[in-house]
């Protein structure tokens, strides 16, 4: 009897994909059985991550790769366009999709949930695999019940395109759900320099700092009578997401239906 989980990786040559390949190769409870990347040539997957040959040759086509191996789980870090077809391909082969890709519509999620249940297997769509980031969001929502006055400061590398970050908006949504909307600050407040008070969300503010050398950091600050409470998560590199992906691969074997949000895998 074996508990080894067979893992296929889509988007294997990307920055996150390579971390997944490396993590799978290093966990004796997991076995790499396929690695898919549209642009990579037919090299051994080990080469991509500076490791010895694995016997798994990179493949350009997901369906073909899944047809040749007995994968239990597909980990997909591709792009919003490929995500839905990849998830459906996985399910067609009875493979549990663990999707690190964003951009699914509610209808698509419902459809995938239906297909999961028909196959009697689980699936996961997770915009964020960081256990630390999810704890930060969870604690922030809990604290907002007692300390409704809050602001969020998130810091990312200076080449990031969008502001505020997806994680900060998600955090803001969780906070908004757990407290009444209050318009914070002085009603007669005036910005001497436009934008100084940050982005407005549900009565509070989100501030986006962009600096070279930073990977991803966020601080949620609650202010109350004579005190402040701060919850801060600093992420130093992509490898920090791997404990979460690892947990997801193992938990997905025990559920049925499509789960949205990695937070549901934390107690």
Please give the positions annotated as active site. Answer: 156, 160
CB nearer its own copies, residue 112 or residue 131:
131
Does the annotation place 8 within a ligand binding site? no
Does the annotation place 225 within a ligand binding site? no
Does the annotation place 166 within a ligand binding site? yes
CB nearer its own copies, residue 197 or residue 251:
197
Q: What minimum distance in Å lies between the beta carbon of 255 and its own copies? A: 19
Largest CA distance in the chain: 70
CB nearer its own copies, residue 103 or residue 223:
223
Q: What minimum distance in Å lies between the beta carbon of 1 and its own copies? A: 28
Give the count of beta carbons closer than 10 Å to the beta carbon of residue 35: 30
In angstroms, the CA 60 to CA 161 distance is: 29
Does the annotation place 129 within a ligand binding site? yes
CA–CA distances in Å: residue 195 to residues 107, 190, 198, 199 = 36, 10, 5, 8
CB nearer its own copies, residue 28 or residue 212:
212
Tokens at 256, concatenated: 């049925």
In angstroms, the CA 186 to CA 43 distance is: 61
Q: What minimum distance in Å lies between the beta carbon of 135 and its own copies? A: 5
**Measured on CA atoms in the order 130, 133, 137, 143, is the torsion positive or negative?**
positive
Q: What minimum distance in Å lies between the beta carbon of 131 and its own copies? A: 5
CA–CA distances in Å: residue 11 to residues 57, 97, 226 = 14, 13, 50
Q: Which residues are annotated as a binding site for NAD(+)?
A: 11-16, 44, 100-102, 126-129
Q: Which residues are annotated as a binding site?
A: 11-16, 44, 51, 100-102, 126-129, 166-167
Q: Which residues are annotated as a binding site for (S)-2,3,4,5-tetrahydrodipicolinate?
A: 166-167
């Amino acid at each position: 009897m074996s508990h080894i989980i067979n893992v296929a990786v889509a988007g294997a040559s990307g920055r996150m994909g390579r971390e997944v390949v490396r993590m799978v190769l290093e966990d004796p409870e997991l076995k790499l059985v396929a690695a898919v990347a549209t642009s990579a040539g037919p090299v051994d997957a080990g080469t991509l991550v500076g490791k010895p040959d694995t016997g798994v040759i990179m493949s350009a086509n997901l369906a073909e790769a899944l047809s040749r191996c007995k994968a239990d789980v597909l980990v997909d870090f591709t792009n919003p366009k490929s995500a839905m077809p990849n998830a459906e391909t996985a399910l067609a082969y009875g493979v549990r999709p663990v999707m690190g890709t964003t951009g699914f519509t509610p209808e698509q999620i419902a459809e995938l949930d239906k297909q999961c249940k028909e196959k009697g297997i689980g699936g996961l769509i997770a915009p964020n695999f960081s256990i630390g980031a999810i704890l930060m969001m969870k604690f922030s929502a809990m604290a907002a019940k007692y300390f409704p006055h809050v602001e969020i400061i998130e810091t990312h590398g200076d080449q990031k395109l969008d502001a505020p970050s997806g994680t900060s908006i998600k955090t803001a949504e969780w906070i908004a759900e757990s407290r009444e909307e209050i318009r914070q600050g002085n009603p007669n407040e005036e910005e001497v320099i436009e934008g100084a008070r940050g982005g407005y969300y549900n009565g509070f503010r989100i501030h986006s700092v962009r600096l070279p050398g930073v990977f991803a950091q966020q601080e949620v600050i609650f202010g109350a009578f004579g005190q402040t409470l701060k919850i801060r998560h600093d992420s130093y590199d992509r490898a920090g997401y791997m404990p979460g992906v690892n947990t997801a691969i193992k938990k997905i074997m025990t559920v049925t239906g499509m789960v949205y949000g990695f937070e549901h895998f934390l107690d």
